[in-house]
Amino acid sequence: MKHLVAVAQIDCVLGDLRRNIEKHIHYIELAIKEGAKLILFPELSLTGYTLRDINIDIAVNPFKSNVFDDLKKLSREIIIIAGGVEEGESFGIYNSAFVFEDGQIKYVHRKIYPPTYGMFEELRYFSRGDRVRAFDTKIGRIGVLICEDLWHISLPYILAVDGAMVIAGLAASPTRISGASEELTNYKINSEHHKTYARLLSVYLLFSNRVGYEDGVNFWGGSEVVNSDGEVIAVAKLFDEDLIFAEIDYNTIKRSRQFSRHFIDEDPYLFERELKRILGSK
């Protein structure tokens, strides 16, 4: 089973939902023309990142609002994963990823680890998500994580144990200059741990990072697709908008898991037992 997927690396207009939706539609239509079955956008792609107090004004309950009707319509032809601000049933505000499929909201992932350290202040403005689940789609079982979530090894592990063959990561990662090397440290570090997750869990990892400037912060891009052997099979430009395509091949996952059985032989019950023992001793 093979499926073509697209990763859209875009800039966003801060606080302008309508203009951002229009840009999403443009890239979605390009992906549909190429025959892609899924398209992934960056973190908070529908709203911009540095929202601060306007997060409340731009938040949407995706199950009650008609603001995403155009995306829902297009999702009859392609699965769409985009980032936005969600208003929950209890009126909490979340940094979320919306998954559109077959004309409806298929799934919503709320960012579990909004960072508040260094230059980040997300936890001041967003509540934390409290679950991570894999779910079935027309291209197979997938899981979604948002930026900092990918820096917590437990979350990709849980998704893989839950049956995800594809993990989609949305990010708004700012550029940080380090050392004298001409190689962008941000891309090198992120790509290394994407390859590690993909190889150890025998999954495909899709990563969409935004570009552009916002509130004096630059975002570096470098979106990529990594296969289950830990090989980068598609990579986007640095600093510029881009649309990349790659093929998800389930035979590659099969070969990866049968050739190197570490994930097949994984014992989650041992993990559960030992983790309970560790937590119970504290």
Q: Which of 25-34, 96-105, 175-184, 224-233 has the lowest mean pLDDT?
A: 175-184
How far CA 224 is from CA of 32, 101, 191, 195, 231, in Å, comes to: 19, 22, 8, 10, 10
pLDDT of residue 216: 83
Query: 45-68 pLDDT, tens per residue?
Result: 999 999 999 999 999 999 999 999
Walk me through the domains of the chain, giving residue ranges and CATH numbers. 2-280 (3.60.110.10)
What's the CA gap between 82 and 89, in Å, rounded?
Answer: 20
Burial of 124 (0-12, 13-18, 19+ CB in 10 A): exposed
Instruction: Give the confidence band of 281 by pLDDT, cuts at 50, 70, 90.
Output: confident
The chain-wide mean pLDDT, for the chain, equals 95
% the chain with pLDDT above 90? 90
Compute the average pLDDT of residues 261-275: 95
Instruction: Give the confidence band of 180 by pLDDT, cuts at 50, 70, 90.
Output: very low
Instruction: Give the confidence band of 208 by pLDDT, cuts at 50, 70, 90.
Output: very high
Compute the average pLDDT of residues 2-21: 97
In this prediction the pTM is 0.95
What's the CA gap between 229 and 200, in Å, rounded?
Answer: 9
Query: 108-164 pLDDT, tens per residue?
Result: 999 999 998 877 899 999 999 999 999 999 999 999 999 999 999 999 999 999 999
Burial of 265 (0-12, 13-18, 19+ CB in 10 A): exposed
